Structure 1
């Protein structure tokens, strides 16, 4: 049974949307410097190198990683390989605002995937919570004016982000199917290494196809290096660690609602960089999104 959403878990689940908001902005900024699939491979290769000193034991012959290679290979494909590669590719034709908007549909896909593929009933409170949270996202995008919302335009990259979001919904549900008695689950670094090890292989295959099929190159410099370090440590290790804890403690549906904070945080980060003062509509959006989270989590805990 899922635990109740506590303040400590809620604070922990604020980390992924914060990191992912920065990831969208950074990913868009380096589209002309690093190819999308290559960026994803380098990101996870560095993340794996950083985690290996803490979780190298899972790669030993007697580890449960090898008997359960199908499960961890699928987690690596969905969460590490497909989601992030599609996201970086989407940023080549879409804006960070649109990408985070499409990603904010994750709670809806969580409900659909859970109901269709994992036979999890959908509660009315969860549907209402989704509506409240998406209304909060709409307030951010409209900047308090419906005219701004009507001016939004969707492109091919947005469809790629829809595919990425569906992949992440499956990834989150697959996390709940990991055996609670699996020794890897008790070791946070080892659990991440198990997923990232396979995910890096998948990412490497995609990057290899990219270099063979398309004329690409990397423009090395401090911008490229700092970008790779940021996306490896923040959106990769920290965000995935916090997301895994959230899914395991309060379930994928409740955890998914926190992704709706990503567009709000992206907007606030932009405001901070521009030196502007947050507006009243930011407070309204925050209240709507949090209201959706609270409404859904109370019913889920019950």
Structure 2
């Protein structure tokens, strides 16, 4: 892993900006499209856009044999990064606000460090532990709505729990990128380009996402039938397919490869800042004083974790 450079920092700042936009669009569409269906629609649109760039990954019998030989690790990548994370976030947005959801996602560095230590034997530096604790303090501040006295009687709403699960899923996905299965590492990895690799993840992830959307439709058919199709919905899906899907995943993959998932995880904590600005502008949900304090703790965690 290399040191953090301005170029890598720029790569890691763009995904939080796009993810904040993803949270905003997810909240705006919460009453228009069921969350699991929205996730499947997003990734089907992304797959269509990826095909001209990554079609070689499935273009020949030899290439398809490579996928079949690696279906287990690829299915796990697809579940964590495509099938679970975004679906859980859209579920969270049905009962919570973009600011709260993105601030709760700031617990990701904690899960990054825990998974690294428990699964991969990566013992965090003291500065990383301190940065993670600062981020966790920011998350707790949001959960108690700025009143520490409420901590004893804290009751998590459904959206909070869904977002905590989404953060855990994303941390596990990032470690799978940084410490891939032996069949996806080194000389054993097929010579996929970034677009081909993302296409492969989307193919496997869509199996999970489509199955989840089908289950959602079976349980609540009226919600799926009530989807209101419009040019606005089409533009929203195009943004979700291009920005949070293609561009964000490409930049995140490059950033994780450069500095590791533990360091990259702290940059995901910039998402609440962008979400707060967008919420104030579009949803008329201005951030409160405790949001500012929570963000200050998050930034302090990024700075501290980068100390050597």
Assess, with a 3 A threshold, how the Cα gap between structure 1 residues 185 and 286 changes in structure 2: closer, same or farther.
farther
Shift of 1:293: 2.3
Residue 229 (structure 2) aligns with: 220
CA–CA separation in structure 1 for the residues paired with 2:191 and 2:175: 15
Verify the 8 A CA contact 1:98 1:154 in the aligned structure 2: no
Shift of 1:206: 0.7
Residue 50 (structure 2) aligns with: 51
CA–CA separation in structure 2 for the residues paired with 1:171 and 1:278: 30
Residue 30 (structure 2) aligns with: 31
Residue 259 (structure 1) aligns with: 268
Residue 88 (structure 1) aligns with: 90
CA–CA separation in structure 2 for the residues paired with 1:260 and 1:86: 18
Residue 40 (structure 1) aligns with: 39
Residue 246 (structure 1) aligned with residue 252 (structure 2): no
Residue 210 (structure 1) aligns with: 216
CA–CA separation in structure 2 for the residues paired with 1:250 and 1:48: 28
Residue 10 (structure 2) aligns with: 11
Which one of the candidate residues 264, 272, 278 is aligned to 1:269? 278
Residue 99 (structure 2) aligns with: 97
Normalising by structure 2, report the TM-score.
0.85
Which one of the candidate residues 194, 197, 203 is aligned to 2:203? 197
What is the count of residue pairs matched by the alignment?
295
CA–CA separation in structure 2 for the residues paired with 1:284 and 1:174: 32
Name stretches of at least 5 consecutive residues in structure 2 with no aligned partner: none
Normalising by structure 1, report the TM-score.
0.87
Verify the 8 A CA contact 1:4 1:298 in the aligned structure 2: no
CA deviations 1:99-131 (Å, max 9, x no partner) are 112111000011111111222112211011223
CA–CA separation in structure 1 for the residues paired with 2:280 and 2:87: 27
Assess, with a 3 A threshold, how the Cα gap between structure 1 residues 102 and 267 changes in structure 2: closer, same or farther.
same
Assess, with a 3 A threshold, how the Cα gap between structure 1 residues 14 and 133 changes in structure 2: closer, same or farther.
same
Residue 160 (structure 1) aligns with: 162
After the TM superposition, which segments of 4 or more aligned residues of structure 1 sit over 3 Å from their partners?
A: 131-139, 145-154, 180-186, 271-291
Verify the 8 A CA contact 2:86 2:166 in the aligned structure 1: yes
Larger mean CA deviation between 285-294 and 125-134 belongs to: 285-294
CA–CA separation in structure 2 for the residues paired with 1:97 and 1:153: 18
Shift of 1:284: 7.7
CA–CA separation in structure 1 for the residues paired with 2:139 and 2:289: 14
Shift of 1:174: 0.7
Residue 73 (structure 1) aligns with: 75
Aligned ranges 1:175-186 → 2 under 5 Å: 175-178=177-180, 179-184=185-190
Assess, with a 3 A threshold, how the Cα gap between structure 1 residues 263 and 185 changes in structure 2: closer, same or farther.
farther
The root-mean-square deviation of aligned C-alpha atoms, in Å, is: 3.0
Shift of 1:269: 2.1
CA–CA separation in structure 2 for the residues paired with 1:188 and 1:52: 12
Shift of 1:185: 6.4
Shift of 1:211: 1.1
Assess, with a 3 A threshold, how the Cα gap between structure 1 residues 298 and 137 changes in structure 2: closer, same or farther.
same
